[in-house]
Amino acid sequence: MPKRRDAVQNHEKLLVAARAVIAERGIDAPLEEIARRADVGIATLYRNFASRDELVQALFERSMDEVDMLLAEIGGEDTAWESLVNFMDRLGLWLLADPAMPTIVTRIGIIDPDRRPAMRFTGATTALVAQAQADGDLRKDVTAIDIVLLATMLGSIGRYGDEYITQWRRQLDIVLDGLRPAGSPRGSLAAGPVDLDSYHRMLRRSPADA
């Protein structure tokens, strides 16, 4: 039997609120705060998700659906190198927009150790890495896992707030230069460096406070 419209809306509001609250307060944020942010009662939350882990699993599945859509748009560029750059760009932007994701993935690893979400990424990039290396555009000692790790690291700076997010493309440019073979031309960096005061503010901010 299909859910009533208000039940569907409450389910969606809870997922949206949970993402925001977990990004702000961490994976163990109070469920009452998630319900309050979604403008529903705690009983409604438990009708939709019997436990915190069930809520985390729903958030994870929603994010994996988004990943599949992202990956479907990778690979149509003129060269494998351009496809890898697009992949790192898109994955980084996705993580910046969803700073709760790293903690959700960590909890999923505890809930279900057999889940291997990284396979989605490495499966999509392994052939691109091999082709970019064959084309002479990528260092021979780089692996698909390196590409995924670097993109994830860059995207994780979203946890430190909007002030530093504006700098992530500069860091991406630096990483991309490091992935190129020796002797490759260096591109210009996307933005000016973070000043010392801004960097100190970022360091003083806890990821859970971002």
Contact status, residue 91 vs residue 121, Cβ threshold 8 Å: yes
pLDDT tens track, the chain, 210 positions: 446 778 889 999 999 999 999 988 889 999 999 999 999 999 999 999 999 999 999 999 998 888 888 888 888 899 999 999 999 888 888 888 887 887 888 888 888 888 776 677 777 789 999 999 999 999 999 999 999 889 888 877 766 666 666 678 888 899 999 999 988 888 788 777 777 887 777 666 644 444
User: Tokens at residue 147, please?
Assistant: 């590409």
What's the CATH class of domain 1-50? Answer: mainly alpha
Domain parsing of the chain, residue ranges: 1-50, 61-209
Show the tokens assigned to 199. Answer: 């960097």
pTM greater than 0.85: no
Residue 102 CB coordination number (10 Å): 19
Q: Say how far apart CA 105 and CA 193 lie, in whole Å.
A: 30
- Rg of the chain taking only CA atoms, in angstroms: 19
Q: Identical fold at 1-50 and 61-209? A: no
Q: How much of the chain is in helix, strand and coil states, percent to nearest 5?
A: 70, 0, 30
Task: Return d(Cα 59, Cα 37) in angstroms, integer.
Answer: 16
Q: State the Cα–Cα distance between residues 144 and 196, nearest whole angstrom.
A: 34
C-beta separation of 172 from 88 below 8 A:
yes
Q: Which CATH number fits domain 61-209: 2.160.20, 3.40.50, 1.10.357, 2.40.30?
A: 1.10.357
